[in-house]
Amino acid sequence: MFLKVLSISFILTGFFFFTTATIGLLRFPDFFCRLHATGKGDTLAVLLSLIGLAIYHGFCLASLKIISIAVFYFVAQPTATHAIARAALRCGVKPWAKGEERR
């Protein structure tokens, strides 16, 4: 019972971070701001959701593989975000400053 409540709270926290990352992706004014929102929020949300699912499934080989997906994603997603941001910077995209209009 306690483990079930713990896993439900983990999954709900992950869903909250998914929602905030999506709102940031839609509402922020600039490409770099959007990337900042989705890069950090989605990484944390995936980590929390997969830990909650692994706790619900119990201790066996399957939950170990779920944790390994989470660890892989925790390394891979910041790398992909960094690659996109560096490509944008080398392509000459200027960061947004206060007072300019949305792009």
Partner 1 sequence: MEKFFLGIGIGLCFLVLLCLYRGIFGPTVLNRLAGISAIGTKTLVILLLMGFIYDRVDMFMDISMVYAILNFIGTLAVAKYLETKGEV
Residue 44, interface with partner 1 (CB under 8 A)?
A: no
Question: Considering only residues 78-97, where is the footprint of partner 1 by CB under 8 A?
Answer: 79-80, 83-84, 86-88, 90-93
Residue 9, interface with partner 1 (CB under 8 A)?
A: no
Residue 53, interface with partner 1 (CB under 8 A)?
A: yes
Q: What is the 3-state secondary structure (H, E, C) of the chain?
A: CHHHHHHHHHHHHHHHHHHHHHHHHHHCCCHHHHHHHHHHHHHHHHHHHHHHHHHHHCCCHHHHHHHHHHHHHHHHHHHHHHHHHHHHHHCCCCCCCCCCCCC
| Residue number, 4 or 100, with CB nearest to partner 1 | 4
Q: How far is the CB of 59 from partner 1 (least distance, A)?
A: 14
